[in-house]
Amino acid sequence: MKKRKWSIALVALAMLLAACAESSGGSTTTAGGTEGSTTTAAPSEGSTTTAAGSVGATPYENLNAAMAGDYAGTTVEIVAQWAPDGAEAESFDAALQPFRDATGIDVQWNPTVEYETALQVRVDGGNPPDLAQIAQPGKMAQYAAAGSLVNLSDWFNVDQLTQDLCCGFVDMGSVDGSLYGVFWKTDVKSIVWYPIQAFADNGYEPPTTWDEMIALSDQIVADGNGSPWCISIESEAADGWVATDWMEDILLRTAPLETYTAWYNHDIAFNDPAVLHAAELMHQIWFTEGYAYGGSDYINATFIGNTQDPMFDAAGPQCWMQKQAAWIPGFWGENKDFTDPAEWPNQPGEDVGFFYFPPIDEAYGNPVLGGADMFVMFNDRPEVRALLEYLATPESAAPWIERGGFLAANKNVPVESYTYPNDELATMTANATSFGFDASDLMPADVGAGTFWSGMVDWVAANGEGTEAVFQGIEDSWPAG
């Protein structure tokens, strides 16, 4: 165990050093990236002329100093929501280890339960951690407005970050042009899982357009093969969020990104015609007779981890397609009984694969819907800066990628380093024409975690009747001001 940790650390450190040596040539570190988009060619000329020099430099000032051992012996506290005792917590700790080893800085990482409330309480109490992970840009903006966060724009190499991060994450991490959050990990939601062998046996092809997807759905119904779609939204205190993802994904495909942005900012009404149009398309899949397995009762009464159970029925798939993010494989059929993914009877990529949730209107390209985790800074000390800068480098993702289940917000992480399904997801994200951040996470919680969710549940209970009234109700619930 211990040995393994060490080897990971060494590998990662080696990667880091190699990458640094390679990139330090063109990236004009010391000048703070004034030249902007210099090409990363020619490592030959002046590759050792950068400031810190001795070890091989990163594009980040404090990180270089830390690597030179300037802050050895200091302590940085970082908090994140990754469940204590879970694989995610271990993976995150592994990701911090190379930094600890390379700098001698003691990074303390304390998993917390009830994470968001606990963080709020610590900030309210004037005892915030040095760095904290946050998933909602809205929450970040709240902390920034309250003056709790360190403005990173003053010293962070933002140009480098802009080159590295995908998906407009620099903008998402900024408030009024000031950077507060550095995105690190992302989740992509625009994928649909399907049983590979059963598809082949029946001559079904993963659809590449919306029309093909509808045609396939009709085909499955016509073949008497059960229902094309596995859909359900029961999720304890969060019933309905799966439906909001559908709405967002469809809206991204039927309207410009500006409309999407205006929608969650409430610059247009929640029930804008564009949104109602998206609802109509969603209605087609959710409420067409015979499409969704078990109908609206099944959708509302079935826990999201059990949505796809009929896909793994002993008598063959009873439902064929499920739109859900990459966390779902652990819930496939008997997979629930095993903690080690290697033992799963239903392997992602072999037994069940995914296709990209197809585009609808060519004008809006191939968008991707997702969420992402960022780090924000509460206490400004050089060693804290160094860790935040480290988390901006592609190398910081390596240990977790190796352990699986990580998609980096940094687009310069080599695609080859990923395993399935994240390799394909990384490619998909890289090829996306736009990245829509989960809108319900950006709306005020009253709506995004309140009436939007409950409205979707009501809509399903009414079997898709009264669409306009449902969306009008959500619009009316938008908090004033």
Partner 1 sequence: MAEVVDPQQVVVERRGWTAGRDFLIAVAVFAILWLGLRLLRNPDTFAGMGPLAGKLAQALLALALGIGGIWAVFIVVNTLVEHLPVRVAEFVRPWVFVLPALFVVGVYLVYPAIRTIIQSLTEVPEGEGFLANYIDAFTDPDVQIALRNNVIWLLIAPTASVIIGLAFAALADRVKRESLAKTFVFMPLAISMVGASVIWGFMYAWKIPGQPQVGLVNAVIQGLGGEPIAILQQVPLNTFAMIVIMIWLQVGFAMVILSAAIKGVPVELTEAARIDGASELQNFFKILVPSIRGSIITVFTTIAIAVLKVFDIVFVLTGGNLDTEVIALRMYDEMFRFRNFGQATAMAVILFVAVVPIMIINVRNLRKQGIGS
Residues 112-131 that bind partner 1 (CB under 8 A): 117
Q: What angle do CA 403, 137, 405 make, to 5 degrees?
A: 10
Q: How far is the CB of 313 from partner 1 (least distance, A)?
A: 10
> Helices (H) and strands (E) in the chain — how many of each?
19, 12
Work out whether strand 178-179 and strand 174-175 pair parallel, antiparallel, or are unpaired.
antiparallel
Per-residue interface string for the shown chain with partner 1, residues 300-319, x marking contact by CB under 8 A: xx------------------
Q: How far is the CB of 406 from partner 1 (least distance, A)?
A: 27
How many residues in the chain? 481
Q: How far is the CB of 150 from partner 1 (least distance, A)?
A: 23
Span of 250-258, 293-301, 320-328, 371-379 interacting with partner 1 by CB under 8 A? 293-301
Q: Which of 294, 316, 341, 349 is close enough to bind partner 1 by CB under 8 A?
A: 294
Closer residue to partner 1 (CB): 341 or 473: 473
Span of 101-109, 377-385, 407-415, 444-452 interacting with partner 1 by CB under 8 A? 444-452
Residue 396 has a CB neighbour count (10 Å cut-off) of 22
Q: How far is the CB of 310 from partner 1 (least distance, A)?
A: 9
Span of 158-166, 195-203, 298-306, 361-369 interacting with partner 1 by CB under 8 A? 298-306
Q: Establish if 481 lies at the interface with partner 1 (CB under 8 A).
A: yes
Distance of CA 115 to the CA centre of its chain: 18
Closer residue to partner 1 (CB): 51 or 469: 469
Span of 273-281, 350-358, 435-443, 471-479 interacting with partner 1 by CB under 8 A? 471-479
The label of the residue with tokens 């005792």 reads: 85
Query: In angstroms, how far apart are the furthest CA atoms of the chain?
Result: 70
Closer residue to partner 1 (CB): 137 or 353: 137
Strands (E) in 392-442, as ranges, are 434-437
Q: Establish if 469 lies at the interface with partner 1 (CB under 8 A).
A: no
Tokens of 390: 């480290």
What's at 302, amino acid-wise?
T
Q: What angle do CA 252, 393, 258 make, to 5 degrees?
A: 20
Residue 187 phi, psi (nearest 5): -130, 135
Q: Which of 277, 288, 450, 475 is close enough to bind partner 1 by CB under 8 A?
A: 450
Closer residue to partner 1 (CB): 390 or 453: 453
The number of C-alpha atoms within 13 Å of 188 and in the hemisphere containing its C-beta is 31
Closer residue to partner 1 (CB): 270 or 298: 298
Q: Which of 445, 466, 468, 469 is close enough to bind partner 1 by CB under 8 A?
A: 445
Q: Establish if 145 lies at the interface with partner 1 (CB under 8 A).
A: no
Q: Are 372 and 409 in contact (CB under 8 A)?
A: yes
Closer residue to partner 1 (CB): 365 or 473: 473
Tell me the site size for partner 1, rule CB under 8 A.
Answer: 30
Q: Helix, strand or coil for residue 324? A: coil
Q: How far is the CB of 318 from partner 1 (least distance, A)?
A: 9
Task: Identify the sign of the CA torsion 356, 243, 235, 333.
Answer: negative
Span of 50-58, 151-159, 398-406, 456-464 interacting with partner 1 by CB under 8 A? 456-464
Closer residue to partner 1 (CB): 289 or 340: 289
Q: Are 303 and 234 in contact (CB under 8 A)?
A: yes
Q: Are 332 and 344 in contact (CB under 8 A)?
A: yes
Residue 110 has a CB neighbour count (10 Å cut-off) of 12
Q: Establish if 171 lies at the interface with partner 1 (CB under 8 A).
A: no
Q: Establish if 104 lies at the interface with partner 1 (CB under 8 A).
A: no
Closer residue to partner 1 (CB): 16 or 460: 460
Strands (E) in 281-366, as ranges, are 319-323, 352-356
Per-residue interface string for the shown chain with partner 1, residues 219-248, x marking contact by CB under 8 A: -----------------xxxxx--------
- Gyration radius from the chain CA atoms: 23
The label of the residue with tokens 């109602």 reads: 276
Find out whether the peptide bond into 59 is cis, omega within 30 degrees of 0: no
Closer residue to partner 1 (CB): 204 or 298: 298
C-alpha distance from residue 211 to each of 221, 273, 300, 432 (Å): 15, 22, 27, 20
Closer residue to partner 1 (CB): 162 or 306: 306
Tell me which residues touch partner 1 (CB under 8 A). 117, 236-240, 293-295, 297-298, 300-301, 444-446, 449-451, 453-454, 457-458, 461, 473, 476-477, 479-481
